[in-house]
Structure 1
Amino acid sequence: MSKSEFISEQHKENVEWSSKLDFYKDEIEILQKRLDEIAVKNNKKEVLTSIEYFQNQLIIHRNTIDEIQHGVNVSEDALVSEVKKNPVASDHRKTKYHQAEKEEIQILEKVFKELREEFNRFVSKWI
């Protein structure tokens, strides 16, 4: 049996996830600026190799965020469509829970935290 939840709760979760994803996008921009600062100040091969590694990681994370955001948008569009089809008592109806998006967000948060910690160790070494 699949898990379900109220449409209004799922909408609230979609909004929260979109905010988190926007936060991570902003943080990627901040990390990229820090990388640019380090690149200007250091031209050692070891530093440049690490900069390239982190740039690639940021690109991967940006793409992952975009993919997750797309999934959240699709979920939100389905909710809107469901409510438009039958707006009566929509706040009391349930829909299939979006477990895949929840798991993707959790994994993103874990992996991004690890990347941020690794990045901060790198920055502290070269600034």
Structure 2
Amino acid sequence: MKKTVINNSDLHFEHKQWDSELAFWNDELKSFKNRLSELVTRWTDKDVLAQLEHYQNEFILHGNVIADLQETIEKHEMNISHHSDEGHESMDISMVNTHTDLREKMETQRQIYADLKKEFFQFLSKYM
């Protein structure tokens, strides 16, 4: 049975990718919230306003998920750094499992966010 070695540098690289993606999502959310502000001033229809509130809530929730993911990545990065400081350049099983769980959370959130954006853009094309 071949033993797979996962190097800290590989995990660090993936963390950097995730950090960039999360920062991009945060920037997008700011522009989406600005778009909502514009629409609130244009519409008085209760159905449209209810949809605007729905998206506002979704964007707040997604912002919270982003913050949680950023914090989790930072903690994991600190664990990797501490591990490296002790002279270990590869991960133990629990750290790899933590990283794998984090990767799955990112993949899930990526899909949720893509669906939300698609829905929001359809809404905008209707009401802008």
* TM-score scaled by length of structure 1: 0.89
Which residue does the alignment assign to 1:72? 73
The CA distance in 2 between the partners of 1:33 and 1:103, in whole Å, is 30
The CA distance in 1 between the partners of 2:11 and 2:5, in whole Å, is 9
Which residue does the alignment assign to 2:113? 112
Q: State the structure with bigger RCO (CA 8 A, min sep 6), 1 or 2.
A: 1
Instruction: Indicate yes or no: 2:36 matched with 1:40.
Output: no
Offset, 1:94:
3.5
Identity between Structure 1 and Structure 2 (%): 26
- Residue-by-residue CA offset, 1:97-120 (whole Å, 9 max, x unaligned): 201110111011100010001101
Which residue does the alignment assign to 2:50? 49
Unaligned runs of 5+ in 2: none
Unaligned runs of 5+ in 1: none
* TM-score scaled by length of structure 2: 0.89
The CA distance in 1 between the partners of 2:34 and 2:48, in whole Å, is 15
User: Which has the larger share of strand?
Assistant: 1
| Number of equivalences | 121
4+ residue segments displaced more than 3 Å:
none
The CA distance in 2 between the partners of 1:41 and 1:12, in whole Å, is 44
Offset, 1:85:
1.9
CA RMSD of aligned residues (A): 1.5
